[in-house]
Structure 1
Amino acid sequence: MLVWERPEPPDRPVPAPLNREQIVRAAIQLADADGLDAVSLRKVAAALNVGPMRLYGYIDTKEELLDLMVDAVHADIRPTGDGWREVLRSLAESTRRAAHQHEWLADLIGGRPQLGPNTLASGESVLAAMDGVDLDIVVPAVDAVNAYVIGAVRREITERRAERASGMDKTQWQVAFGPYLVRTFATGLFPALAKMVHDGPHLDADQTFWTGLDFVLDGIEARIAR
């Protein structure tokens, strides 16, 4: 029986009441502050001021706890809009916003499908918006959007982490490594890269994300139109 189906232990007359929601909320707060390495059943129990053994019965393993954390965040990922394109854009926007708020989410999405109720509700909203489109298009289309969003979000979070680790933001990094690129491009070995750096658009993170997403959605729209 998965954690979503398993009932919680009955209430007990103890000084510190406990339930799964409290456990998950405490775990998310730890992860938001210090990353997933800060999350363990022992640390969560300490944050709740209870003994570690109190958590068992509510949650059996750390993997279950991580699944519950991801599903809790998906309560805020509820795609809306008129038509499949607006709904897929809403899915992308809300997933990105959630990952910016909870950076650890980028480390947990993209693997096997999440099966929690909030995650399933999000998927239901997307598929319902594509009702009437052939499933042979719907399935790879939704997979393509999810793959794009996950990749883009992970890149953004990796950049954030690199800024913190190096103490340099993107502009400072470019200034530091600019002279190397100037010397390298002067060799004439990389003319296409040199043209891109000198003449190409320099988009900020938001522009990069939405432009790339529009490329994906335009491709889906063209395939549906066939």
Structure 2
Amino acid sequence: MDVVWDRPEPTGRAALTPLSRAAIVAAAIALADAGGLDAVSLRKVGAALDAGPMRLYGYVATKDELLDLMVDEVHTEIHIPAHTDWRAALGAWAHRTRAAALRHEWLVDLLGGRPALGPHALAVGEAVLAAAATRFPDIDDARRAVTTLRAYVNGAIRTEVGELRATRTSGLDTRDWQATNGPYLMRVLAEGNHPHVARLVADGTDDDPATAFATGLDIVLTGIALR
């Protein structure tokens, strides 16, 4: 079996609607940005490009391949700065991954699965490991540091995007949600069985998503540095 990264694009007579793997990926990303991954199929991408789905199979054999190509293309938006210290580099990777996920919410549904092996994803992975290796020369220690950080980043942005989706689905913003659920929650807390939750509700700070992400990231990076 070959892989899409090594497979050449079809050649032959010119068609009325020129195709390329890059055009197919761009159309698929546009569909996903507008309607999520359910809006992406080879048939729908073909329709967006005014081309029959059978023509697409010469460039992309399956939907899984198309998703892999889409993820790799998004990695072009995640640039790791060179000539900086390891913590700044890993922090930049985390923030830029979050920004990419907020631009392309479907990305969170594809994080944490099989390793991304496309050329752009591999370049980002190399830069992240190289930065970690300046602090942890043992490659397994560098891997563990990156894996720990990636677990935080993936979980944090999944939570943030999940809340955005829930707000859109319910039609309730934060104030509306609190007005709907507040009376029930206050009644339960008044029973005294959840003192720490009650303290959080009464005295806790409601950070905005960007602040919450940055604060958690600082905690994780500090822990990695101490290790």
Under TM normalisation by the shorter chain, which class is it?
Answer: over 0.9
In the TM superposition, what is the alpha-carbon distance from 1:137 to its structure 2 partner? 2.0
Q: Structure 1: which amino acid aligns with 2:60?
A: I
Q: Which residue of 2 aligns with 1:124?
A: 126
Name the SS of the counterpart of 1:130 in structure 2.
helix
Q: Could you tell me which residue of structure 1 aligns to residue 208 of structure 2?
A: 204
What residue is the counterpart of 1:182 in the other structure?
A: 186
Matching of residues 49-64 of structure 1 within 5 Å:
49-64=50-65
Uncovered stretches (5+) of structure 2, i.e. residues with no partner:
none
- RMSD of the TM alignment (CA)? 1.1
* 2:69 counterpart of 1:68: yes
For the 8 Å contact 1:83–1:130, the answer to whether it is kept is no
C-alpha displacement of 1:52: 1.0
- 1:122-201 equivalences under 5 Å are 122-132=124-134, 133=136, 134-201=138-205
Distance between the aligned counterparts of 1:64 and 1:19, measured in 2?
15
Residues 106-121 of structure 1: pairs in structure 2 closer than 5 A: 106-121=108-123
1:83: which partner in 2? Answer: 85
Q: State the AA in 2 paired with 1:131.
A: A
Report the alpha carbon displacement of residue 178 of structure 1 after superposing the two structures with TM: 1.1
Distance 1:143 1:200 in 2: 30
Q: Which runs of 5+ in 1 are unaligned?
A: none
- The superposition leaves residues 49-78 of structure 1 with CA deviations (integer Å, 9 ceiling, x where unpaired) of 011111011010000000000000001112
Equivalent position of 1:36 in the other structure:
37
97, 101, 104: which one aligns with 1:102: 104
Q: Residue 90 of structure 2 contacts residue 132 of structure 2 at CA under 8 Å; is this kept in 1? A: no
Separation of aligned partners in 1, 2:214 and 2:133? 24
Shift of residue 130 of structure 1?
A: 2.5
CA displacement 1:158-213 (0-9 Å, x = unmatched): 11111111111122211221111111111111111101111122211111111111
Instruction: Find the aligned partners of 1:199 and 1:80 in 2 and give their Cα distance.
Output: 39
The count of corresponding residues between Structure 1 and Structure 2 is 223
The letter of the residue matching 2:48 is A
Q: Give identity over the alignment, percent.
A: 56
Distance change in 2, residues 1:108/1:125 (3 Å): same
Calculate the TM-score normalised by the size of structure 2: 0.95
Tell me which amino acid in the other structure corresponds to 1:153: I
User: What residue identity is the alignment partner of 1:93?
Assistant: H
Structure 1 outlier segments of 4+, above 4 Å: none
